[in-house]
Amino acid sequence: MSQELRSLKFIDPRQWIPELTGSEVLDNMPMETTAHQAVQTIVAEYNRISASLAETPEDHRPRFRRIDDRTFDTMDWHISFLMGTGFSQKQWRSVIRGHAVTGDIIAPIRKLSEATGPAAQSDCRSGR
Q: pLDDT band for position 128 (50/70/90)?
A: very low
What is the model's pTM?
0.55
From 21, 37, 60, the end of a domain falls on: 60
For position 117, what pLDDT does the model report?
61
Does 127 lie in the same domain as 87? yes
Q: Could you tell me if 48 and 76 lie in one domain?
A: no
| Mean pLDDT computed over every residue of the chain | 76
User: Domains in the chain: how many in total?
Assistant: 2
CB 7 within 8 A of CB 57: no
Its domain, for residue 48, covers 1-60
**DSSP result, 56-123:** -GGG-----EEEETTEEE-HHHHHHHHHHHGGGHHHHHHHHH-BTTTB-TTHHHHHHHT-SSPEEHHH
Q: Are residues 46 and 79 in the same domain?
A: no
Query: Which tens digit of pLDDT belongs to each residue from 52-100?
Result: 888 888 888 878 888 998 888 888 887 888 788 888 888 787 777 777 7
What pLDDT does residue 37 have? 86
User: 25 and 75: one domain?
Assistant: no
pLDDT given at position 124:
52
Q: Are residues 71 and 54 part of one domain?
A: no
Residue range 54-66, pLDDT digits in tens: 888 888 887 888 8
